[in-house]
A and B are shown apart, each in its own frame.
Chain A
Amino acid sequence: QLQLQESGPGLVKPSETLSLTCSVSGGSVRSSDYYWGWIRQPPGKGLEWIGNIYYSGSTYYNPSLNSRVTISVDTSKNQFSLKLNSVTAADTAVYSCARGAVIGRVTPYDHWGQGTQVIVSS
Chain B
Amino acid sequence: DIQMTQSPSTLSASVGDRVTVTCRASQSISSWLAWYQQKPGKAPKLLIYKASSLEGGVPSRFSGSGSGTEFTLTISSLQPDDFASYYCQHYSTYSVTFGGGTKVEIK
Contact = CB atoms under 8 A, between A and B. Distances in A.
Interface of A: 37, 39, 46-49, 52, 54, 60, 62-63, 96, 100, 105-110, 112-115
Interface of B: 1, 34, 36, 38, 42-44, 46, 49-50, 55, 87, 89, 91-101
Nearest to B50: A107
A60 B95 contact: yes
Contacts of B42: 114
Contacts of B94: 60
Contacts of A54: 93
Contact of A46 (B46, B95, B98): B98
B43 A107 contact: no
Nearest to B93: A106
20 contacts: A46-B87, A46-B101, A47-B38, A47-B44, A47-B89, A48-B98, A49-B97, A52-B96, A54-B93, A60-B95, A107-B49, A107-B50, A108-B34, A108-B36, A108-B49, A109-B46, A110-B46, A114-B42, A114-B43, A115-B43
Nearest to A107: B49
Contacts of B95: 49, 60, 62
Contacts, number: 53
A46 B1 contact: no
B98 A49 contact: yes
B91 A100 contact: yes
A46 B99 contact: yes
Given A60-B93, A63-B1, 17 more contacts: A39-B96, A46-B87, A46-B100, A47-B38, A47-B101, A54-B93, A60-B94, A60-B95, A62-B96, A96-B43, A100-B91, A106-B92, A107-B50, A107-B91, A108-B46, A108-B49, A112-B43
A109 B96 CA distance: 10
A46 to B, nearest CB: 4
B91 A108 contact: yes
A48 B1 CA distance: 14
Contacts of A62: 95-96
A110 B94 CA distance: 18
